[in-house]
Amino acid sequence: MKFVINVNKEQRTVDVDPDTPLLWVLRDEMRLTGTKFGCGVAQCGACTVHVDGAPRRACVTPVSAVEGGEVVTIEGLAGAEADAVREAWAEYDTPQCGYCQSGQIMTAVALLSAKPNVTDADIDNALAGNICRCATYVRIRKAVKAASAKLGG
* Closest by Cα among 58, 70, 100, 85 to 5: 70
The whole-model pTM stands at 0.94
45-77: buried (b, 16+ CB within 10 Å) or exposed (e) per residue? bbbbbbbeeebbbbbbbbbebbeebebbbbbbb
CATH at 31: 3.10.20.30
**Mean pLDDT rounded to a whole number for the chain:** 96
Residue 12, domain extent: 2-72
Domain count for the chain: 2
Count of positions (residues) in the chain: 153
The helix, strand and coil proportions of the chain, stated in percent and rounded to the nearest 5, come to: 40, 15, 45
Residues 66 and 88 in one domain: no
Query: What phi and psi, each to the nearest 5 degrees, are found at residue 3?
Result: -130, 140
Q: Which of 72, 100, 117 represents a domain boundary (last residue)? A: 72
pLDDT at 82: 98
pLDDT of 5-63, one tens digit each?
999 999 999 999 999 999 999 999 999 999 999 999 999 999 999 999 999 999 999 99
Residues 18 and 53 in one domain: yes
Residues 67 and 87 in one domain: no
Q: In this prediction, what percent of the chain has a pLDDT beyond 90?
A: 94
